[in-house]
Amino acid sequence: MSVCNSVKIDQQSSELHFLRQTPKQWRESPEKPIVYAPKEETIFLSGGLTLLQDSLIEAALRSLGYHFIALPEPDFDAFRTGKAYGNKAQCNPTYFTVGNLVKYLIDLRDNHGISSEEIVRRYVYITAGGCGPCRFGMYITEYKKALRDAGFEGFRITSFDHEKGIFQGDDIETQLIDYTPSFFIRLIKAVVIGDLLNIAGYRMRPYETTAGATDAALAQCRALLSDAFLEGKSLPLTLLKARKLLNKVPLDRSIKKPKVMVMGEFWASLTEGDGNYGLYRFLESEGAECIPQPVLNRLMLSIWEAKEANEKRRLLPSDQTIDFSYAKTRFLVSLAKKAIEWHVKLYAKLLGIRYHLPDMDKLAELGKKYYTIECNGGEGHLEVAHLIEAVKEKLAHLVISVKPFGCMPSSGVSDGVQSLVTAHFPEANFLAVETSGEGAANFYSRVQMALFKAKEALKEEGA
């Protein structure tokens, strides 16, 4: 045998050995067909907003006949589970949310005796999908990959486009969830009430004279409102009862505290636990009053973006089809905006709190000098506009932008564009911080330094 033939045979053997050792290519669809449980036996899982909102959404969807369970708040165990089963180089929200679902299912299997086959057959996860300049568009694939590797191949994920709100198309999966306007209206009511109760809590908790009194009152409000959703009771009357509970909490506002506005990447700025190192509770423990950005802000931004996109239709060649579609979309967007504004105004009045939805046209005007408002990835121009508004109108002594390590839309804004903004507004006290699942000590240290400046600014106001 010649040397060349020997080398060729060895090469072929090496290639065959490599092919035998290489894992099979991952595919999104399960290899074997699965007979899933009918809709009436299906259990729906979801989560990802604030704890209060997730609880109200659970009650709201159960009132529509769905067997719905809100997942517990993601913690560091969920983060580690997400890293174990997920792809490398993902961002915090991916690891926390994917890991939270996998961790929950593993607990059902290992501690509650439900087989993997039964879990796959009966359980479904509801999530928001969509496109954008970050990893968000890959979340669903990440869920399916991690679920397969954890032993739950074929587990169902049903999604809706987070940017379309109640205007979902016919291309989404409707066999299990009826994504009708009534579904989203009930969902939005739960989100609105949850936002308003959270805002009330952040305004009260720093000034309570009895530690834990605000949280106890909010828990009672949550129970009352969940019961109202489940039993079809009047939400306005229930909100009046909730108002009485909140009014019973003794407060002492004689001690002034610095106000800290928290914004940034949607999930990182919204979560209340390990995902952002418990940022809100840490700020309160350091003597600050938090101003969160409610879920409603993101919803109003989506409506504003839909309105702007529709207006650009006029630049297209005009014909009857385009004109009809333009008029229809304009009407629906206007109707959605007015309905949300009406509900927010009514519910806030019933709860006895002052709150106004942000003026999206005003914020766009503030932000467009520094950010191309046609770019709608992440929070778009809102981060820039909120900082300028906070400085000009003296809304906060410190503005924090929090985002996962490597978050492309938010990091590009806070680490790039905001540098120019703070150069033009040197009085701004702005801090951009990242989370990565580790590094809490450095995170807290930076927040404390910025908060010290906020406290000094508060003292100067009283001088």
- State whether residue 433 is helix, strand or coil: strand
Q: What tens digit of pLDDT does each residue of 399-444 get? A: 999 988 767 667 777 778 888 899 999 999 999 998 876 778 889 9
Distance of CA 227 to the CA centre of its chain: 25
Looking at residues 49-53, what average pLDDT do you find?
A: 92
Neighbours of 241 (CB within 10 A): 15
pTM: 0.86
The answer to whether residue 138 scores a pLDDT higher than 80 is no
pLDDT above 50: residue 461: yes
CA angle 289, 290, 296 (to 5 degrees): 145
Residue with tokens 């090469």: 11
Domain ranges of the chain: 71-178, 184-247, 259-462
Taking 70 as the threshold, does the pLDDT of residue 113 lie above it? yes
How far apart are the C-alpha atoms of 267 and 95, rounded to whole Å? 12
- Res. 171: pLDDT tops 60: no
pLDDT category at 19 given cuts 50, 70, 90 is: very low
pLDDT (average), residues 167-184: 60
Q: pLDDT-based confidence at 100, cuts 50/70/90?
A: very high
Residue 112 predicted with pLDDT over 70: yes
At residue 174, the pLDDT reads: 47
pLDDT band at 12 (very low <50, low <70, confident <90, very high): low
Residue 73 DSSP code: P
Quickly state the pLDDT bin for 244 (edges 50, 70, 90). Answer: very high
Least confident of 63-67, 108-112, 219-223: 63-67
